[in-house]
Amino acid sequence: MSDGHDHSNGHDYHNAPLSEPAQRVKALEQLLVEKGLVDPQALDALIDTYEQRIGPRNGARVVARAWSDPAYRKRLLDNAAAAIEELGYPPGPQGEHMMVLENTPRVHHLVVCTLCSCYPWSVLGLPPVWYKSTAYRARAVSDPRGLLEEFGVDVRDKEVRVWDSSSEMRYFVIPERPAGSEGMSEEELAELVTRDSMIGTGLPKSPARPVRQTRTAK
C-alpha cells in the first residue's frame, strides 16, 4: 500500500500523523527501551492484564465471598489486602494499603480521590472516566447527597460517609447484600455486584427482578 514518499502537508485522511501526545509517548518509550529500562513486550503484557484480567469482576468475587462466608468477611475487614490476595489478586502498585468499607442499613460509603485518581486497581481495575473528572472529585465532597441522587442511589435515611483515597490508602465498598439473595451461590451473588456498587455510586442488582440494561431515568 505504501508508495514510499508521501510528505503531504494537506489533509491526509488515510495516513493521519500521530497526535502530539502519541508522539511524545512513542519517543519516551523508544528512549527507555534503548536504555534497557522497559521491554515493549512487557508493556503489551501489562496493558493486556489491566484491560482483560483485572477488573471489577475481581471485586465482585471478593464481595460475594464476604457475603457468603462470615469468617472471610472478618478477615477482609481486619486485613483487606491479605484477604483479597487469598482469592488470587495480588496488590498492584496501588493496592498495598486497602481498607474495606461495609455499607449498612444506616451508613452509605462513597469513595473518591479528590487530588487525582487513586483507586483500588487489584479489585476494580482502572477507574472509569467519570471517576477522574474534576466534577466528580469536587462534588463528592461538596454535595455527596446530590451526587448520589444523580447516580440514582437513594440515601434519604442514611448517613453518607465520603472517603478520600490517597497513595497511602485506598478504599473499596462492600455493598449491602440485596434482599431476596438468600440461598444464592457465590457465583450467582457475584453477578449482582456492580462496579459502581463497590465505589459507592451504585447499588447491587436486585435478584428479585431481571435487571434491564436500559432503565429509564427518573
Partner 1 sequence: MSVTRADDLIATARALAPEAMFSEPWEARAFAVAVALCESGRFAWSEFQQSLIAEIGAAEAAGHATVGGPDYYRHWLSALTRLLETKGIVDAAELAGRIAEAGPPPPPQDPRGRHI
Q: Binding residues for partner 1, per CB under 8 A?
A: 16-32, 35, 37-39, 42-44, 46-47, 50-51, 92-94, 115-118, 125-126, 128-136, 138-139, 143, 146-147, 150, 166-168
Q: How far apart are CA 48 and CA 209, in angstroms?
A: 35
DSSP element (H, E) containing 107: strand 107-112
Whether the CB-CB separation of 211 and 152 falls below 8 Å is answered with: no
Nearer to partner 1 by Cβ, of 83 and 147: the residue is 147
The yes-or-no answer on residue 113 being catalytic is: yes
Nearer to partner 1 by Cβ, of 130 and 159: the residue is 130
Catalytic residue among 2, 68, 116, 167: 116
Nearer to partner 1 by Cβ, of 69 and 143: the residue is 143
Could you write out the DSSP letters of every residue in 175-189?
A: PPPPTT-TT--HHHH
Q: How far apart are CA 160 and CA 108, in angstroms?
A: 5
Q: How far is the CB of 189 from partner 1 (least distance, A)?
A: 22
Q: How far is the CB of 89 from partner 1 (least distance, A)?
A: 16
Closest C-alpha to 100, from 144, 59, 156, 132: 59
The yes-or-no answer on residue 8 being catalytic is: no
Q: How far is the CB of 44 from partner 1 (least distance, A)?
A: 8
Nearer to partner 1 by Cβ, of 69 and 150: the residue is 150
The yes-or-no answer on residue 122 being catalytic is: no
The yes-or-no answer on residue 133 being catalytic is: no
Q: What are the residues whose beta carbons fall under 8 Å from the beta carbon of 91, sequence distance 6 or more?
A: 81, 84, 85, 98, 122
Annotated active-site positions, please?
Answer: 113, 116-118
